[in-house]
A and B are shown apart, each in its own frame.
Chain A
Amino acid sequence: MKKVINDPKNVVQETIAGFVAANHAHFHQLEGVTAVVKNKLDPDKVGLLIGGGSGHEPLYLEFIGEGFADAVCQGNIFAAPSPDIVLAGTKAVDRGKGVLYLYGNYAGDNLNFDMAAELAEMEGIRTETVRVMDDVAAAPPERMDDRRGVAGAFFMIKVAGAACDVGLDLDDVKRVTMKARDNVRTMGVALAPGTIPGEEKAPFELAPDEIEIGMGLHGEPGVRRGKLQPADQLVDEMLELIINDLPFKSGDEVCVLVNGLGSTTRMELFIALRRTLQSLANMGIKVYDSQVGSFATCQEMAGFSISLMRLDDELKKYYDWPAWCPVFCTR
């Protein structure tokens, strides 16, 4: 696969170097580790630390900023950050009020963040953890703990960042973030795979006329493989799986994210969003706000996902809370 890279070994370091250089007024990299921290941390607030494997940008790297994360810890491509990286980030953002870890529910992330939490505890820093587990395709509702974290992470980071910014204590930040988690659902469709930088082969194959509904961000198998269909049919099939899962009901109020997986154009995403909004309206579900963009990607993977977050007054407050990160701004 052709990519604009140097030595594949240096991809993560060089990505972070570019990101920090572009945003040097706001963030800096911690010495010796692939962690990025805000230059200015408000005193007396809970720290929000997010992170995961690299290769999904802007997730998690670029969701740092005012009303977003205080620190981002990046692992190698598709691999969780090591406990040492997370610990360094934790120490950098703890202001005596503790730190919330927010990351995707994958075996590697769980092991590494849990070990970081143990190390932080030994240093007298209190941490709590909330895992993103929004991917409806990954497991049935009765095995929620087996669900992966995908694009719905955006809503959770937005809410958690606001909760920290408002000045809630660690227990309350965790409670609100878990509420967001419990109300977020995502379903994706892949049209073509992405490849790990430096690798020739993609981790899976899809025929030119084939799609896979529910495929994960790393090519994890989805719920159905079939022929490519028009956008509206794809959207309706994905929405049905999301709606029935929570379930979302007529009268509910939601935020929508139509997320590109890497190489799908904004043109296509708007077409998908248009249908998503039409179908939600037909179901009597009220859309409070909608976002379109490539927020959680897998290299040049083609396809998109739809995420919904059901709102109540509290979640709405934090969703609306003024916030800025390099890829999102709300005032």
Chain B
Amino acid sequence: METLNATQMRDMMLQVADAVVEAKEYLCEADRNIGDGDHGIGMAGGFEGVKQELAGKEFDDVYLVLSTVGRTMIRIMGGASGIIFGLLFYAGSKNMTAQKEITTAEFAEIFEKALVEIQAKGQAKVGDKTVIDALDPMVKALKESVAQNLSFKEMLNRAYLAAEEGKEASKAYVAKFGKAKALGERAVGFPDAGAVSLTVITKAMRDWAQENL
């Protein structure tokens, strides 16, 4: 059965970190449309910290790679995105027995747990114009890929496409949370900045898999 080992997970997360840092201004612009314009600053700052924690270090536990990513983001970012994007990696990797490698099913489970915990903390559902609009379809795509016995490469491709579709769908929604909520109908036409971030993250995962698997 195909697996992803800790070193591969580290490398993939480093590519994610580079992609988010590079997308800083793009994410600020997305936030400026319907928020206060600082989303990219927080995300880039968080992933700068992630790079410091991961680069040049050897890992033999896949979960430790992800819990390091998530805990670092929670510790240094602050803001709503610090908790939400920190939990994206931390919720499904904390308190796990160390594993040198994980299967696609275990990979999908990590993000399924993240979806559950982020929804429990933030109370958002699909259609509220939050990261959930992209995360929910992404997790569905992961689980469907597992059910169909797809490769990591194809699973991550589908996860990205699903997140992208969810982000696009978020344009039509009226925001129920965050600073965009007060905009009401005026936020329609713009995607949620958190959903945009998730597409940047999933695209970097997809790209890493295309290039390395």
Q: Name B41's contact: one of A77, A84, A106, A111 (CB within 8 Å).
A: A77
- On whether the beta carbons of A82 and B186 are closer than 8 Å, the reply is no
User: Chain B residues with Cβ under 8 A from A221's Cβ?
Assistant: 182-183, 186
- Name which of B1-9, B53-61, B79-87 contacts chain A: B79-87
Please tell me if the beta carbons of B35 and A75 are within 8 angstroms of each other in the complex: no
Q: Mark out the residues of chain A between 77 and 131 whose CB falls within 8 Å of any chain B CB in the assembled complex.
A: 77-85, 106-108, 111-112, 114-115
Please tell me if the beta carbons of A80 and B82 are within 8 angstroms of each other in the complex. yes
Number of interface residues of A (CB under 8 A): 31
A201 at the binding interface (Cβ < 8 Å): yes
Flag whether A53 is at the interface (Cβ < 8 A): yes
B79 x A76 contact (CB < 8 A): yes
**Nearest-CB residue, chain B, relative to A82:** B78
* B18-59 interface with A by 8 A CB criterion: 28, 32, 35-38, 41-42, 45
Residue B76 CB within 8 A of the other chain? yes
Tell me whether A260 is interfacial, beta carbon within 8 Å: no
Cross-chain contact A201 with B83 (CB below 8 angstroms): no
A218 and chain B: residue at smallest CB distance = B36
Mask: chain A, 7-48; 1 = CB below 8 Å from B; 0 = not: 001000000000000000000000000000000000000000
- CB-CB under 8 A from A79, the residues of chain B are 38, 42, 77-79, 81-82
Compute how far the CA of A213 lies from the CA of B46 in the bound complex, rounded to whole angstroms.
35
User: Which residues of chain A come closer than 8 Å to B37, judged between CB atoms?
Assistant: 196, 199, 201, 203
| B78 and A76 contact, CB distance less than 8 A | yes
Query: In B51-98, which residues have CB < 8 Å from any A CB?
Result: 74-84
**Interface-centre pick from B80, B81, B178 (highest chain A CB count, 10 A):** B80
Q: Indicate whether B179 reaches chain A with its CB closer than 8 angstroms.
A: yes
A-B contact pairs, 9 of them (CB 8 A): A53-B78, A76-B41, A76-B78, A85-B78, A108-B83, A111-B82, A196-B36, A203-B37, A220-B36
Q: Told that A78-B36, A83-B83 touch, could you supply 12 new A-B pairs with CB distance under 8 A?
A: A76-B42, A78-B38, A82-B76, A107-B80, A108-B78, A115-B74, A138-B182, A196-B36, A196-B38, A203-B35, A203-B37, A220-B36
